[in-house]
Amino acid sequence: MSDLLVDGLWHGPITDQHIHLDRGNRFLAAVDEFTRCGGTGLMLVHKPGFSSDLPTDRAGYEQVYAETLAMAEDVRRAYGITVGVVLGPHPVAWHHQMESLGLARSTELHLEAVDLALEHIEEGTAHCLGEVGRPHYPVPEEAWSAANEMLLEIMQSAAGAGTSIQLHVEDNGDATYAELAELATKANLPLSRTIRHYAPANVSGDFTHGLACTVSVGSGSVEALCASHASAGAYWGMETDYLDDPRRPGAVLGPKTIPKRTNELCRALLKPENEGGSGMEASEVEELMLNIHSRWPSELYGVEF
């Protein structure tokens, strides 16, 4: 019997594929909470300073990216866990910057920030482009059209760089996936490396249209994953989208969530079908957990989890 899965408890790798940290807030205390519950790896995503001044030039983005990279190194030194870095300009920042810079300059700056992130990925200091995408709320048609044109160009840049991309998009079910798949195909970006962040827990291929995704594992996610994982069309993983923002404590999930949901999922998959579970063998569950928390993220980001 494997020592990774014992009595429904997972003792193997546990990876949060999308988490933000803030040196001025909980920072290492949040990582401590994650690791004490069994967390072993995370993808640290650049957090834009919406409450402060957003960058207005390339030098400004160099400064805020440097802080994200420094936090990643601090976490590695303090906890010895695997930390990959996701760098990129947030689409909501682009929309906010339109007010002061105008559409043309905010778009130009956004693409400059993408190029800078890709330079870090080429150097190996960062491992994924993101979170990029389009506003998740209604915007005027001109802004929506511009966002999609810009997203196509960003996807083309990611394809040329051979990197994975984490996408921040609206929640419109499989219609969102279908549109993203069409854009990625136009950009020659592999669907398997086109990652929808903050994704619903339906990971079936019919729903995801072949895109990878990181599922927000909130309430009800275990049941949806049990129902859809067998027909998954691409890589999928788990995320909290933890914001490390005390002003929005309930906006997203906390650092303990991924370890907790992983064990809940293991128990549900192991439970006999006549008791409402999936009736999987322990060896099958172990393989799936290793895929979710180690093999698939390692493939997506080029980091060993």
CATH number, domain containing residue 121: 3.20.20.140
Average of pLDDT values for 150-172? 97
Residue 50, pLDDT score: 66
Residue 99, pLDDT score: 87
Q: Based on the structure, what is the number of domains in the chain? A: 1
| Cα-based distances in Å from 70 to 64, 75, 118, 163 | 10, 9, 17, 21
pLDDT in tens, 68-78: 999 999 999 99
pLDDT in tens, 262-296: 999 999 999 998 888 899 999 999 999 999 999 99
Q: 74 lies in which domain range? A: 5-301
pLDDT in tens, 184-225: 999 999 999 999 999 999 999 999 999 999 999 999 999 999
Residue 188, pLDDT score: 98
Residue 275, pLDDT score: 85
